[in-house]
């Protein structure tokens, strides 16, 4: 039998196929094989990812009219508050069902695209899912919810050798999974009656995956994960939201919200038995002297990063709590009044909060151990103009924060005027003066906020259901990463947020953009502008961006 050796990988062809040449060691002959770009071929000792490249998480919806039947009951198997579908499974009209079913979503494939820092596609790795013949109900697998815009953030581990992200352990093309319960945190008032584990995927430079299941985020979605494998630790920090039912929420829903911690697993998913969720961080607006609101919703977290032994989170959506930047205080001394800066002797947490279960319904997860990062907003979410999402530290005194915008769909041809008028949506630059963080400026040039753009094969004209144009427009930024250059500048990469007339704007084809900022600049540079590296195609969305496993800071 001939043993093949890979000797050349040619660029992707327009039909999304790639040609790979192999040499037969036995016969000394060279032949070419054509492989699907969405597939990954394993070679002993070979690396899938190369140091210094970028990874972008992408989701693809399998458009089939049969995925949803017009007139069918939504959410599936609901018993109260049911509605009927107004669109079938055809893309993108399927998302008009979101206008009648607040829980509407459908699971879709996850891809990890490796690209150069200049945007050239190198390869693409598909995460195992039920559409593949080799995947059974007992196989390792993961999907995302296609229109859930806050999912699939990418983070490199503490040693920068492993990339992590979150999804659902569910079959492809399953409805309303993003608002389903988790198996040990069932809320009987949740209109979505199904139950599915959430899980963290971890992938190394060879493309090998492991998965860690969790009962956190019942009723809602896990959004970001970070593996702390430093100093003998083996824990994952997670960010997300929980709850999709009435008030009061069951204890296990409250426990499964916000900032979570779980021990990383290498067991097959079929052998894992996830326990109760374990909060690693908790915040309550009573720390700021405000009247308590809905328990568990103050920690509706989106972004997550770790820097200098401190875990940071952002909250940028929902009507409860404060939309701002937070950190977990492991010293108990950094912010007695709910606002402060991390202690220089802080260490990363390795265990959860020792909470009092008797207080869950009244105080939530207490004692509270999170603080608003001093200098950032403390205004209640119900009146705020801040919508932070992603975080990237260029150095100890320079922090870039993405703001996804207010989501306004106010439209007057030819633009979304509400989005276009924003002054803080985009990439915000903050600096630390030794006492607190201070806002300097927002980079948005080149994003063309509020200006619709075209997608090949995408509908033109107006969506009759929303009375707005189908064409999406950038409204701000979400997940982010960056690299500091030797000349004192930083290249910063971010995923765009959108507004549109789509029934669910999270399903809009969006973009990966990049900008170069001078770190020493303290006023808005007039010559800096974003440019687009990658645009999602018809039936696709982009979600997270990171450097490849093994890439140093």
pLDDT of the residue at 427: 98
pLDDT of the residue at 553: 83
Gap between the Cα atoms of 548 and 528, Å rounded: 26
| CA-based end-to-end distance of the chain | 44
Q: Would you say the C-alpha torsion 459, 460, 461, 466 has a positive or negative sign?
A: positive
Nearest residue to 208 via CA among 549, 552, 551: 549
Strand partners, 547: 54
Nearest residue to 480 via CA among 528, 429, 427: 427
φ, ψ for residue 375, nearest 5 deg = 110, -25
Q: What is the pTM of this model?
A: 0.92
Helix/strand/coil for 182:
strand
pLDDT of the residue at 80: 83
Gap between the Cα atoms of 345 and 330, Å rounded: 9
Q: Residues 83, 100: contact at Cβ < 8 Å?
A: yes
* Radius of gyration, alpha carbons of the chain: 23
Q: Residues 106, 541: contact at Cβ < 8 Å?
A: no
Gap between the Cα atoms of 259 and 279, Å rounded: 6
Q: Residues 162, 154: contact at Cβ < 8 Å?
A: no
Q: Are strands 54-60 and 4-9 parallel, antiparallel or unpaired?
A: unpaired
Q: Are strands 388-395 and 370-373 parallel, antiparallel or unpaired?
A: unpaired
Nearest residue to 150 via CA among 223, 86, 99, 43: 223
pLDDT of the residue at 511: 98
Q: Residues 451, 427: contact at Cβ < 8 Å?
A: no
Gap between the Cα atoms of 322 and 283, Å rounded: 10
Gap between the Cα atoms of 260 and 311, Å rounded: 11
Instruction: Indicate the helix (H) or strand (E) that contains 235.
Output: strand 235-240
Gap between the Cα atoms of 388 and 424, Å rounded: 10
φ, ψ for residue 119, nearest 5 deg = 100, 5
Q: What is the DSSP letter of 298?
A: G
Gap between the Cα atoms of 271 and 277, Å rounded: 18
Nearest residue to 277 via CA among 363, 360, 201: 360
Q: Residues 515, 530: contact at Cβ < 8 Å?
A: yes
pLDDT of the residue at 45: 59
Nearest residue to 22 via CA among 38, 40, 9, 37: 9
Q: Residues 302, 389: contact at Cβ < 8 Å?
A: yes
Token digits of residue 511: 């973009």
pLDDT per residue rounded down to tens, the chain (553 residues):
333 233 222 332 333 334 343 333 333 333 333 333 334 444 445 899 999 999 999 999 999 999 999 999 999 999 888 999 999 999 999 999 999 999 999 999 999 999 999 999 999 999 999 999 999 999 999 999 999 999 999 999 999 999 999 999 999 999 999 999 999 999 999 999 999 999 999 999 999 999 999 999 999 999 999 999 999 999 999 999 999 999 999 999 999 999 999 999 999 999 999 999 999 999 999 999 999 999 999 999 999 999 999 999 999 999 999 999 999 999 999 999 999 999 999 999 999 999 999 999 999 999 999 999 999 999 999 999 999 999 999 999 999 999 999 999 999 999 999 999 999 999 999 999 999 999 999 999 999 999 999 999 999 999 999 999 999 999 999 999 999 999 999 999 999 999 999 999 999 999 999 999 999 999 999 999 999 999 999 999 999 999 999 999 8
Instruction: Indicate the helix (H) or strand (E) that contains 251.
Output: helix 251-255
Nearest residue to 468 via CA among 409, 407, 509: 409
Q: Which residues contact 395 (CB under 8 A, 6 or more apart)?
A: 484, 519
3-state helix, strand, coil in the chain (%, to 5): 10, 35, 55
User: How many H helices and E strands in the chain?
Assistant: 3, 35
pLDDT of the residue at 291: 95
Task: Produce one character per residue of 502-539: b if its CB has 16 or more CB atoms within 10 Å, e if not.
Answer: bbbbbbbbbbbbbbbbebeeeeeeeebebebbbbbbeb
Task: Produce one character per residue of 389-425: b if its CB has 16 or more CB atoms within 10 Å, e if not.
Answer: bbbbbbeeebbbbbbbbbbbbebeeebbebbbebebb
């Amino acid at each position: 039998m001939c043993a093949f050796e890979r000797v050349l990988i040619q660029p992707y062809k327009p039909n999304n196929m790639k040609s790979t040449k192999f040499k037969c060691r036995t016969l000394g002959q060279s032949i070419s094989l054509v492989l699907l770009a969405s597939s990954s071929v394993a070679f002993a000792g070979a690396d899938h990812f190369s140091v210094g490249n970028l990874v972008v998480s992408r989701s693809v919806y399998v458009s089939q009219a049969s995925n949803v039947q017009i007139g069918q009951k939504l959410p599936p198997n609901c018993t109260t508050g049911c509605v009927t579908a107004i669109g079938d499974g055809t893309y993108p009209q399927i998302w008009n069902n979101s206008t009648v079913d607040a829980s509407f979503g459908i699971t879709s494939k996850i891809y990890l695209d490796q690209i150069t820092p200049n945007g050239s596609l190198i390869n693409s790795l598909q995460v195992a899912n039920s559409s593949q013949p080799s995947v059974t109900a007992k196989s390792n697998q993961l999907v995302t919810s296609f229109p859930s815009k806050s999912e699939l953030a990418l983070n490199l581990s503490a040693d920068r050798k492993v990339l992590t992200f979150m999804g659902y352990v569910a079959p492809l093309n399953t409805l309303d999974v993003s608002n389903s319960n988790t198996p040990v945190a069932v809320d009987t008032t949740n209109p979505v009656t199904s139950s599915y584990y959430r899980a963290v995927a971890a992938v190394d430079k060879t493309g090998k995956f492991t998965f860690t299941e969790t009962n956190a985020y019942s009723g809602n979605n896990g959004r970001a994960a970070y593996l702390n494998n430093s100093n003998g630790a083996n824990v994952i920090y997670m960010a997300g939201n929980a709850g999709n039912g009435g008030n009061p929420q069951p204890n296990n829903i409250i426990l499964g919200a916000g900032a979570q911690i779980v021990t990383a697993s290498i067991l097959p998913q079929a052998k894992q038995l996830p326990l109760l969720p374990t909060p690693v961080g908790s915040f309550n607006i009573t720390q700021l002297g405000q009247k308590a609101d809905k328990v568990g919703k103050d920690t509706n977290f989106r972004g997550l990063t770790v820097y200098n032994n401190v875990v940071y989170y952002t909250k940028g959506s929902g009507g409860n709590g404060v939309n701002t930047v937070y950190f977990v205080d492991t010293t108990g001394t950094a912010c007695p009044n709910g606002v402060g800066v991390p202690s220089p002797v802080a260490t990363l947490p390795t265990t959860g909060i020792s909470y009092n279960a008797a207080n869950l319904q009244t105080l939530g997860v207490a004692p509270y151990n999170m603080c608003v990062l001093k200098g950032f907003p403390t205004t209640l979410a119900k009146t705020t103009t801040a919508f932070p999402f992603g975080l990237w530290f260029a150095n100890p005194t320079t922090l870039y924060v993405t703001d996804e915008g207010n989501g306004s769909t106010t439209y007057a041809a030819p633009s979304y005027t509400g989005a276009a008028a924003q002054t803080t949506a985009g990439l915000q630059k903050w600096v630390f003066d030794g006492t607190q963080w201070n806002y300097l400026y927002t980079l948005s040039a080149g994003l063309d906020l509020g200006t619709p753009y075209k997608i090949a094969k995408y509908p033109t004209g107006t969506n009759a259901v929303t009375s707005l144009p189908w064409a999406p427009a950038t409204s701000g930024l979400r997940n982010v990463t960056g690299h500091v250059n030797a000349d004192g500048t930083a290249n910063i990469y971010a995923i765009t947020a959108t507004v549109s007339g789509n029934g669910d704007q999270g399903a809009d084809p969006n973009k990966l953009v990049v900008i170069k900022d001078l770190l020493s600049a303290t006023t808005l540079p007039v010559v800096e502008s974003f440019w687009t590296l990658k645009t999602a195609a018809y039936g696709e969305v982009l979600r997270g961006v990171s450097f490849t496993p093994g890439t140093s800071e």
